[in-house]
Amino acid sequence: MAKLRMKKIELIAPLTDSKEIIELLQRRGVVELCRAEDDCLEQTNVAAVTGSFDKFRTSAIQALDMLDKYVPEKTSVADMFGGRTEIDKHDFGSRAAQLEKIMNSANEILRCGRIITDSESERQQLMIKCDTLRSWEGLDVPLNFRGTETTSAFIGTVPYQITADELEAQLPEGTCAEVVSAAKDQTNLFVLCCKDRKQECEDGLRKLMFAEFGESERCSPAELIAKLGSQCEELERKRDGAEKRIGELAESRGDLKFAADYLTMRKDKYDALNSLGFTESTFVLTGFIPEKYCESLRKEIEADHTAYIAFTDPSEDEDVPVLLENGRFSAPLEGVTAMYAMPSKGDVDPTPVMAFFYYLLFGMMLSDAGYGIIMVIGTMIALKKFRLEESMRKTLVMFRNCGISTVIWGALFGSWFGDIVQVVGKQFFDKDIGSIALWFQPLDDPIKLLLFSFGIGILHLFLGVAVAFYMSWKDGRRLDAVFDAVPIYLIILGVAPLGAGILTDVPQTLKTIGGYMLIAGVILLVLTAGRSSRNILGKLFGGLYALYNTATGWLSDILSYSRLLALGLATGSIASVINLIGTMPENKVIKLVLLIVVFIVGHTANLAINLLGAYVHTDRLQFVELFSKFYTGGGREFEPLTVNTKYLKFKEEKFND
């Protein structure tokens, strides 16, 4: 079906039904709203309401993050692939009524989180202070001690090592100094002098770069360390209590997920109200809807509401969104098309065009039947056992189909986990097992595979030219269709046997036919490529320039398909090396154990690396080589008002047409 035909929807209904109709459209997810532009209609501003929803939603999400941090949720592989939890309308409504209670739990979790953060921050500061005071534990006077009635005291440090005698020698007579502790680059000191010599002593200390210890506590360092330790223990108890409370609130995780999704839906719904136009008693809604859903949606709305609904064809100048729908074989690749660009108005959907070759090229690049079987079994189990989101389901179906192609190509090339069949037969049963390839082994005849890769590439590119021919013919430009396609076919088909003759033996008859086709194609291209020019020289130079572009461009495109050879050989070669490493010991028992370990680890890594390589390079051959022949892109993806949730989905979410 490719691109679904879009209709413009216009709906007029009583103002009192606006929220219910918007909620219905949100659950159905088949209408993309457009902002009402009629000057006769009033607009509404819901920024304050949406801001409130966004604030509460942020609190719920932060509470979930806090739970994940302190009480991680146990997850399994099934949870990873399981997708969102289904919920019906009744359950949704009853849980929405508990929103205030849920938000109280969220706020309590956030409060405990703040307690933990503040307590830990304060405890760290106290611990740093304790570490600083430990070098003063030998001081048995209060830290704020500044002397007696007849003496003055100084407590501080100098940034170097010094003894008490050395210090006293540089200070006024009668000064007493004590080294509390010393390190390589610092000495902690207690200095005592007569009250009448205070200024003189202070000046002397200043010259020695003495820095006074700025502590005002009325206790000794040891007493202060004990006091701070008690405070740290109290902060730890406070933090542990908050963590315990968060653990008790972990049972609200499901409710918090509901709240996050519910508030997202509410925000989206009120955002949608910004697109509506209003009169005193009615509201007007406009947007785009796939034609296949029109009548079903009309019946459902009119069953419960009084409304006028009209469906019309969009005008030529409207920016109509694009929604793709393909058959079971092509649909899994819609994500690949969207990753590149959605088709524009004049484009065909490239998904069914590339589907066959996508699977074929992927299989050739991976080309190991063992790896393909693993892909097929793994994806089939996931598809059968897990409740998957639609996007994940399509991705797994795509890799399942790619796995089937890989099995076929692996069997044709005789690669089953590399050469494991031959290795096991030789190493453990002393039997020489020859090639098990249904066609040939690429490592024995790489030139054959290279030429075959170029042949597949030519067919792939010809498909793109054929689609361009179809599009031009359909638009009524039939001469353009012929003159843009036929010369290309003639030139490439003519060059193919001549080029292949460089690498292998080609019958002279094919070379002769190829030569004639090449000449005919060149003449036709030179004579027709510059047809848009109005003078003879322009036509001639336009034709020559097109010939140059065809020669260089197509040569580059065809050579790109040599990656089919490179990746196919890489997969098989690495697999064979893995098998060789596993059979290096002489003792058969040790050899068997090592082979099992190396087989599992090595082939898992090889599959992962080459699976990624096959995916990336298959995409590249579609995007760069195939799409350049006919596809423009630039369309806008259909973005309906829908239940844009992370954790929950309605059981009725999928709309039945």
- Residue 297 region by backbone torsions, left for phi larger than 0, else alpha for psi between -120 and 50, else beta: alpha
- Give the predicted TM-score (pTM) of the model: 0.83
pLDDT of residue 214: 77
- Within 13 Å of residue 123, how many CA atoms lie on the same side as its CB? 17
Please, what is the Cα angle at 593 between 590 and 594, to 5 degrees? 85
The backbone torsions φ and ψ at residue 3, rounded to the nearest 5 degrees and listed phi first, read: -75, 125
Taking alpha carbons only, the member of 623, 500, 621, 608 closest to residue 564 is 621
Res 43 pLDDT > 70: yes
Q: Name the residue with tokens 């360092």.
A: 221
* 419 SS3 class: strand
Measured between alpha carbons, how far is 470 from 466 in angstroms, rounded to an integer? 6
pLDDT higher than threshold 60 for residue 245: yes
Which of 646 and 308 is assigned the larger pLDDT? 308
Helix extents (H) in 77-220? 77-82, 89-96, 99-134, 164-169, 198-207
Q: Are 438 and 412 in contact (CB under 8 A)?
A: yes
Tokens of 280: 């005193």
Give the number of C-alpha atoms closer than 13 A to the C-alpha of residue 149, restricted to the C-beta side. 0
At 422-431, the pLDDT tens digits run 999 999 988 9
What are the beta bridge partners of residue 23? Answer: none
pLDDT above 70 covers a percentage of the chain that reads: 98
Residue type, 36: A
- Compute and round to an integer the Cα radius of gyration of the chain: 39
pLDDT in tens, 474-512: 999 999 999 999 999 999 999 999 999 998 999 999 999
pLDDT at 81: 67
Contact 468, 630 (CB under 8 A): yes
pLDDT of residue 346: 86
Count CB neighbours of 432 within 10 A.
Answer: 8
